[in-house]
Amino acid sequence: MKAILKGLGLLSVLIFLAACKNDEALQADKEEETHQHTAHETSEHADKAVIEGAADHYHTGDMAELTVNEEGLAGEHWHWYTSDDEENWKVIEGEETNTLITEAKDGQYIKAVLYDENHEAAAESEPVKITIDDHTGDIYEGYFENGQVEDRNISDWVGEWQSVYPYLESGVLDEVFEHKAESGDMSAEEYKEYYREGYMTEVSELEITDHGELIFHEGDNSYSGKYIYDGYEILEYEAGNRGVRYIFKQSSGDDKAPDYIQFSDHMIAPEKSGHFHLYWGDDRNSLLEEVTHWPTYYPAKQSESEIKQDMLKH
């Protein structure tokens, strides 16, 4: 009888321990399922979040650093998601802050979702698309057929732009010139002088609108003009390669605004520009002969580090 009672007691203990373990496992599974958010669906009631820091394009091997502006948002933790088609989203493991640093992959969509203490979506961003552009191929180098050249609209250059000339003067771009000297036929200092002549300008910022208006900023002063498309010209260079100037003529504007502006950005067909050289003046033909002075502009939102890294890729 004692053996039987002992056996029943042991069985009771085992059953109790098994039940506790099962409850713990169920609770853990429930918590894990609740926290992973792997099958996220867009919430119509979530606040709108904005991802900042996305570049117009990246190069192979670049790291994309994205940050969500948290102003006005309330929640406990973030999750970042990636997708190839904007429909099927997969969580990026281990990323629960408002900043994501990840290797840029071409065609990848990324979005961020802020969750509250109940694991409900409190805020969600619009997806941003990652584009890889290594500027490879004959066209970027200036080798193409006339039949490949197409007209382009001002929309390819719409946005806010900054001159790179201040970065040359401050020494930020010295690494770029040293890199060029490693495989080029000039010293780093000679390259710097060459680019100083090219970049030099008093127009530190440009604004370009969909309506063809260009606003030139020189320090605290600004002037503007409205421009219409005036065709393109294919130029032959001494090195044997070629370039295309996209020309716009002023239709109205301030007295100081130039009669003509000409864009050159190593592209020959409609495509959003990542940076460009801009020529301006009052004589269309004489501008086409200018090949030593080419003020250069990058998106205003890009940091000096991002601009330098882009130049090092070329």
pLDDT tens digits, 216-241 = 999 999 999 999 999 999 999 888 88
Residue 113 phi, psi dihedral angles, 5° rounding: -130, 130
**Nearest Cα residue to 110 out of 136, 134, 140, 80:** 80
What local confidence, expressed as pLDDT, does residue 196 receive? 98
pLDDT value of residue 42? 59
pLDDT attached to residue 31: 47
- Token code pair at residue 155: 């929309």
* Residues paired with residue 49 on neighbouring β-strands, in sequence order: 125
Q: What's the pLDDT tens digit per position in 1-11?
A: 444 444 445 54
The separation between the first and the last C-alpha atoms of the chain, rounded to the nearest angstrom, is 90
pLDDT in the model for residue 141 = 83
List pLDDT tens digits, range 14-64.
Answer: 444 554 555 554 454 444 444 555 555 556 667 899 999 887 778 778 889
Average pLDDT of 68-79? Answer: 91
Rounded to 10 degrees, the C-alpha dihedral 105/111/114/119 comes to -90
Place of tokens 């009631």: 45
Which residues are CB-contacts of 17 (< 8 A; sequence separation ≥ 6)?
none
Sign of the C-alpha dihedral computed for residues 253, 206, 201 and 292 taken in this order: negative
pLDDT of residue 36: 52
**Domains defined along the chain, listed by start:** 47-129 (2.60.40.10), 138-312 (2.40.128.20)
pTM of the predicted model as reported, rounded to 2 decimal places: 0.62
Q: Structure tokens of 211?
A: 């309506």
All residues at 6 or more sequence positions from 98 whose CB lies less than 8 Å from its CB, including other chains = 67, 68, 70, 78, 112, 114
Residues 137-183 have pLDDT tens digits of 688 788 888 999 999 999 999 999 999 999 999 999 999 999 999 99
pLDDT, residue 43, reads 61
Q: DSSP 3-state assignment of 208?
A: strand
pLDDT tens track for 238-282: 888 899 999 999 999 999 999 999 999 999 999 999 999 999 999
Q: What is the predicted pLDDT for the residue at 62?
A: 85
The pLDDT score that the predictor gives to residue 57 is: 76
Q: Encode pLDDT of 108-132 as tens digits.
A: 999 999 999 988 999 999 999 998 8
Convert the pLDDT of each residue in 187-214 to its tens digit. 999 999 999 999 999 999 999 999 999 9
Torsion of CA 118, 120, 121, 123, to 10 degrees: -30
Task: For residues 74-93, give the mean pLDDT.
Answer: 93
| Cβ atoms of 296 and 198 closer than 8 Å | yes
Start-end of H helices in 118-199 = 138-141, 165-170, 174-183, 188-199
- Cβ distance 212 to 227 under 8 Å? yes
